[in-house]
């Protein structure tokens, strides 16, 4: 550990390898090696739940908590930076970059609505439902009601697929149609419905469905 801390002090934190960073957090170099070897990568390790993490290499509950806290802190920094940099939405890719850090690693589905002004400036970003591995239930009336409360001109729907593929289900298609029709009654536009998964993303607008 002294070698790692010396390297940190002399060359800076960016000079440390993934394994060295983990070793600093868990205070054990062989344990850090075991964690990365069994998980395969930092991204895979970030997706592990605490129950499994604590069993790898004898990590234990306290170190598992510390590791998860560090991962969550890093995720929130990315989300915060991207939110500040992208308060105006110019494309569906902006939304993917904004939401991927928040949704990609989840093991359950979440659905979010991003409400916009007429000039595509973000008014509010709100989680509207949370479900299980197979799906989540979205009340289209509540989504449109919130748009009216915010005086939003447009909104974008975003949800994740915990599976590898960003392929829309029939339920996803039905929800998109209902939201588009309900919002149109109040001159509010559904700009896009995006699905984010580890292997890519799907845009209803990009596919010509909106």
On whether both 94 and 169 belong to a single domain, the answer is yes
**Considering the domain boundaries, does residue 18 fall inside one?**
yes
Could you list the pLDDT tens digit for every one of the 210 residues in the chain? 678 888 888 887 778 888 888 888 888 888 888 888 888 888 778 787 788 888 877 788 888 888 888 888 877 776 666 555 457 888 888 899 889 888 888 888 999 999 999 999 999 999 998 875 555 678 889 999 999 999 999 999 999 998 778 899 999 999 999 999 999 999 999 999 999 998 889 999 999 998
Q: Please give the Cα distance from 18 to 41 (Å, whole number).
A: 9
In contact, 176 and 193? CB cutoff 8 Å: yes
Look up the domain containing 182 and give its range.
89-203
**Considering the domain boundaries, does residue 84 fall inside one?**
no
Residue 108 in tokens: 């359950």
Helices vs strands, H then E, count in the chain: 9, 5
**SS3 label, residue 77:** helix
Answer with the one of 20, 46, 79 that is the final residue of a domain.
79
In contact, 33 and 55? CB cutoff 8 Å: no
List the CATH number of the domain containing 110.
Answer: 3.40.140.10
Q: How many domains does the chain have?
A: 2
End-to-end CA distance of the chain: 55
On whether both 98 and 180 belong to a single domain, the answer is yes
Q: Which residues contact 20 (CB under 8 A, 6 or more apart)?
A: 4, 7, 32
Q: Which residues contact 19 (CB under 8 A, 6 or more apart)?
A: 29, 32, 33, 36
């Amino acid at each position: 550990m002294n070698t790692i801390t010396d390297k940190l002090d002399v060359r800076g934190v960016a000079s440390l390898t993934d394994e060295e960073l983990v070793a600093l957090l868990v205070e054990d170099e062989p344990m850090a090696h075991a964690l990365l070897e069994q998980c395969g990568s930092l991204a895979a390790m970030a997706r592990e739940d605490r129950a499994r993490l604590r069993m790898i290499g004898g990590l234990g509950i306290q170190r598992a908590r510390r590791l998860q806290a560090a991962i969550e802190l890093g995720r929130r920094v990315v989300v915060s930076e991207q939110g500040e940099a992208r308060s105006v939405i110019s494309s569906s890719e902006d939304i993917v970059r904004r939401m991927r850090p928040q949704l990609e690693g989840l093991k359950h589905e979440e659905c979010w609505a991003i409400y916009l002004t007429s000039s595509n400036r973000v008014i509010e970003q709100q989680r509207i439902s949370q479900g299980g591995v197979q799906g989540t239930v979205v009340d289209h009336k509540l989504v449109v009601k919130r748009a009216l409360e915010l005086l939003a001109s447009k909104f974008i729907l975003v949800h994740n697929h915990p599976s590898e593929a960003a392929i829309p289900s029939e339920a996803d298609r039905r929800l998109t149609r209902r939201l588009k029709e309900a919002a149109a009654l109040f001159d509010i536009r559904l700009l896009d419905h995006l699905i984010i998964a580890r292997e890519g993303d799907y845009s209803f607008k990009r596919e010509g469905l909106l």
